[in-house]
Amino acid sequence: MIIGIVAISKNYAIGKDGKLPWHYSADLRFFKEMTTGKTIVMGANTWRPIGKPLPNRLNVVLTRSDIETPTEVKKLRSVNEVLELSRTLTNDVFIIGGAKVFESFADVIEKWIVTYIPETIDGADTFMPENFLGGFTVTDTKDLSDGLQVKTLVRNRSGVKSLQEASMMGGRTWDIWIDEYSETHQNTVNEAMHILGIPMIAASIVLLPTLFIEFAMWRIIVELFVIGWALQFIGHFFEGKPPEFLKDRRFLLVGLRWWFKKVF
Ligand SMILES: NC(=O)c1ccc[n+]([C@@H]2O[C@H](COP(=O)([O-])OP(=O)(O)OC[C@H]3O[C@@H](n4cnc5c(N)ncnc54)[C@H](OP(=O)(O)O)[C@@H]3O)[C@@H](O)[C@H]2O)c1
């Protein structure tokens, strides 16, 4: 199971100056108890100040950069790579933060374990969205010492965002597909070629019915289609990687969603 574990203040703060804005031994002990023997996934910003793997856990750092990590720490580049890893594991995978990583996994987290810190943090710079528990139901509440309370929440099966129900195309959400697509569209020339080419191909398909009214439109339609595809292949030449749809045709649809996400 993919589980999010977080400690939040009354004003939804989770971090300040790259660190936790509080020190509660009871919460650290609880975190250790929950995650020992399991897999923990953290973002590069959370990893940096820790700097060494938390013991007795498989430590995964999510990053697209070439940061240095000890050999026992697994570096992964996308949500999708984490999900692939999780399929090979028998244990739970804990997403431990920070905010950017929680956002990346928002659609796939099935359970949240939330420690409520009884403080309002001034000057915090990292927050959880106020609605991050929307669609989740509290199944357990327990008190730690120092006035801390922990709630466990599970995703509503009837909720809009249950993984199986909201996901599409092979049990993966659009965000995960787009994430994978983005990995092979990092080169700026390739990105520009796709931003131009994808709407040309889409327009050529949308214009097809006009042939019934004005057959001379075929020329424009063919030109849009051919130029649109040519731009994509030129882009992939610069990227040095083949287009995804050659391995899986569902990426033809993902490309369109990627375009909307980029442009709007
Ligand atoms: N209260 C809590 O429970 C809690 C828990 C953890 C952390 N925190 C706090 O949160 C703060 C850090 O949070 P943050 O949001 O700034 O950073 P973060 O989520 O720890 O790390 C962000 C970085 O992770 C990588 N990343 C994130 N999503 C990715 C994706 N989908 N694919 C590939 N890489 C991805 C990127 O690294 P690259 O830029 O290297 O590619 C990104 O810049 C700190 O203050 C920390 O103490 C609080």
Give the C-alpha separation, 157 to 56, whole Å.
33
When the pLDDT of each residue in the chain is averaged and rounded to a whole number, the result is: 90
User: Residue 82: inside a domain, yes or no?
Assistant: yes
Q: Angle, nearest 10°, between helix axes 218-239 and 188-206?
A: 160
Kindly state whether residues 33 and 86 are assigned to the same domain: yes
Q: pTM higher than 0.75, yes or no?
A: no
Distance from the CA of 264 to the center of ligand 1, in angstroms?
24
User: Residue 114: inside a domain, yes or no?
Assistant: yes
pLDDT of residue 129: 93
Mean pLDDT comparison of 163-177, 217-231, 242-256, highest-scoring range: 217-231
Choice from 62, 95, 113 to test ligand 1 binding pocket (greatest atom count within 8 A of CB): 62
Residue 172 has pLDDT above 80, yes or no: no
Give the chain's domain count.
2
Kindly state whether residues 52 and 126 are assigned to the same domain: yes
- Kindly report the protein residue whose alpha carbon is nearest to atom 28 of ligand 1: 101
State the first-to-last Cα distance of the chain, in angstroms, to the nearest integer: 33
Q: How would DSSP label each residue in 194-262?
A: HHHHHHHHHHHHHTGGGGGT-GGGHHHHHHHHHHHHHHHHHHHHHHTS--GGGT-TTHHHHHHHHHHHH
User: Residue 176: inside a domain, yes or no?
Assistant: no
Kindly state whether residues 16 and 142 are assigned to the same domain: yes
Residue 64 DSSP class = S
Q: What is the per-residue pLDDT across 176-210, written as a single tens digit (0 to 9) for each?
A: 778 778 888 989 999 999 999 999 999 999 999 99
79 Cβ closer than 6 Å to some ligand 1 atom = yes
Kindly state whether residues 158 and 253 are assigned to the same domain: no
Give the C-alpha separation, 167 to 34, whole Å.
28
Q: Cis bond leading into 98, ω under 30°?
A: yes
- Kindly report the protein residue whose alpha carbon is nearest to atom 22 of ligand 1: 43
Position 164 confidence tier, pLDDT thresholds 50, 70, 90? very low
